[in-house]
Amino acid sequence: MINLEVPQKAGALINQAYQAAAEVFRPISRKYDRAEHTYPAELDMFAALLDGLNSSGEGGAGAAGVRRSKDENEKGNRNGANLNVVLGTIEMCWGDVGLLLSMPRQGLGNAAIGSVATDDQLERFSGMWAAMAITEPSCGSDSAAITATARLDGDHYVLNGEKIFVTSGERADAVVVWATLDKTKGRAAIKSFVVEKGTPGFEVVRVEHKLGIRASDTAVLRFENCRVPKENLLGTPEIDTAKGFAGVMQTFDNTRPLVAAMAIGVARAALEETKRILSEAGVEIDYDRPANAQHAAAAEYLKLEADYESAYLLTLESAWMADNRKPNSLQASMAKAKAGRSVVDIALKCVELTGAYGEESLLEKWARDAKILDIFEGTQQIQQLIVARRILGKTSAELK
């Protein structure tokens, strides 16, 4: 049975993440929203703290990867690193999602490494800040359409291609790059490679200007005859056409709940701020009265809060399943789809309910930050497609 109460042992982690969000993230949130492309130096102090939390097995508040237990005979339910990381991420993004994405050694590439790397690779890449590069100029939602290539040449793979919209692409120490070993073999030939900064043939072309998460850098990367040690291929180099590219896609089972958690944090921040503003205006939320018997703004707020709660519970479910050795691909996509859509609806409606507060409140910033959470790590439309395939038992070829 799934118990979606927050485990008592996670209390210290949640409190720690909340304090960091309230005392560091919130005060500098507007500063780095205005100073786009400026690295938030205040974040350096947290790197060692989060590293310690992750190495202890308790899980940190960033995008560290999650290792599933290999002991199939392990009995009983457990709350582990995946749930802890999700809970910590919610708190930190209550503070500022762009600043969380700027945290050293907490990139989405770290989640990819943590999810599918071998024990030797985990040790070699320990302490590294890794971004993740999937999207290309001609390939967005369909990861299987990747055109970047990787050709084995002796002890190295030679990578060629261009990647866009890479979060932390300029600041990270390395990038997990998705490329194909053989275009003729489709999805099964797609593998992920850890490419370290400074590798010849690896170039940061530009850093993008954005609507939201402006504290975080988003880069365009180019790989031209970039030689990567073959040991930097994550997972197995064999092309198994029967299995497809399930190995690299396993990464999303862990990163999508994290993005859903980011959305939950932003949505909660918007709801709390809206409740405060409404209260100051004399509009009180009464949970003991029907919505239609209250002020129209209060009734709308109750709808938004219900939307938030459903997204929150779906996110906890997907994390709990990973901790308990259960396939969570469907639940991860459901959580990402629900949370991504809900945070946009909630943030925009909160701006509407509170009126022209502008920069007196962070609400307008959260409304701008929210949109990306419905897009990256798989768009809303792709998540719904994945959910439909899982529920109907269809393959990607049968349901496009």
Residue 134, pLDDT above cutoff 80 = yes
Q: Which of 66-75, 133-142, 174-183 has the highest mean pLDDT?
A: 174-183
Q: Label residue 142 by pLDDT band (50, 70, 90).
A: confident
Query: Residue 266: its pLDDT value, please?
Result: 98
* Tens of pLDDT, residues 330-353: 999 999 999 999 999 999 999 999
**Cα–Cα distance between 333 and 65 in angstroms, integer?**
17
Task: Indicate the average pLDDT of the chain.
Answer: 88
Residue 194, pLDDT above cutoff 80 = yes
Strands 218-229 and 156-167: antiparallel
Please spell the DSSP secondary structure of 39-50, one letter per residue.
--GGGHHHHHHH
CB 338 within 8 A of CB 311: yes
CB 121 within 8 A of CB 113: yes
Residue 311, pLDDT above cutoff 90 = yes
Q: Label residue 66 by pLDDT band (50, 70, 90).
A: very low
For range 36-56, the mean pLDDT:
73
Residue 92, pLDDT above cutoff 50 = yes
Q: Which of 55-59, 184-188, 233-237, 365-369 has the highest mean pLDDT?
A: 365-369
User: Of the given ranges (101-105, 248-252, 307-311), which has the lowest mean pLDDT?
Assistant: 248-252
Residue 23, pLDDT above cutoff 90 = yes
Alpha-carbon distances of 171 from 17, 96, 101, 125, 186, rounded to whole Å: 23, 18, 11, 16, 32
For range 140-153, the mean pLDDT:
87
Say which CATH class 246-392 falls into.
mainly alpha
Residue 244, pLDDT above cutoff 60 = no
DSSP state of 118: -
Query: Residue 55: its pLDDT value, please?
Result: 53
Query: Residue 245: its pLDDT value, please?
Result: 55
Residue 158: strand pairing partners: 151, 227
Which tokens in the block code for residue 288?
């003991």
H/E stretch holding 134:
none
User: Of the given ranges (13-22, 25-34, 266-275), which has the lowest mean pLDDT?
Assistant: 13-22
Say which CATH class 8-124 falls into.
mainly alpha
**Cα–Cα distance between 34 and 331 in angstroms, integer?**
36
Residue 218, pLDDT above cutoff 60 = yes
CATH number for the domain formed by residue range(s) 130-234 = 2.40.110.10
* Tens of pLDDT, residues 279-306: 999 999 999 999 999 999 999 999 999 9
- Report helix, strand or coil for 376: coil
Nearest alpha carbon to residue 349 among 288, 279, 301, 281: 301
Q: What is the CA radius of gyration of the chain?
A: 21
The residues annotated as belonging to the active site are 377
Query: Residue 59: its pLDDT value, please?
Result: 45
Mark residue 76 as left, alpha or beta (left: phi above 0; alpha: psi -120 to 50; beta: remaining). left
User: Looking at this protein, which amino acid is placed at residue 212?
Assistant: G
Q: Label residue 246 by pLDDT band (50, 70, 90).
A: low
**Cα–Cα distance between 1 and 85 in angstroms, integer?**
21
Phi, psi of 331 (to 5 degrees): -65, -35
**Cα–Cα distance between 375 and 373 in angstroms, integer?**
5
Query: Residue 9: its pLDDT value, please?
Result: 87
For range 352-360, the mean pLDDT:
80
Residue 1, pLDDT above cutoff 80 = no
Nearest alpha carbon to residue 202 among 238, 239, 246, 232: 232
Residue 312, pLDDT above cutoff 80 = yes
Question: What percent of the chain is modeled with pLDDT above 90?
Answer: 64
What are the residue boundaries of the structural domains of the chain, listed by start?
A: 8-124, 130-234, 246-392
Q: Label residue 145 by pLDDT band (50, 70, 90).
A: confident
Q: Label residue 61 by pLDDT band (50, 70, 90).
A: very low
Alpha-carbon distances of 260 from 91, 108, 184, 325, rounded to whole Å: 13, 13, 34, 20
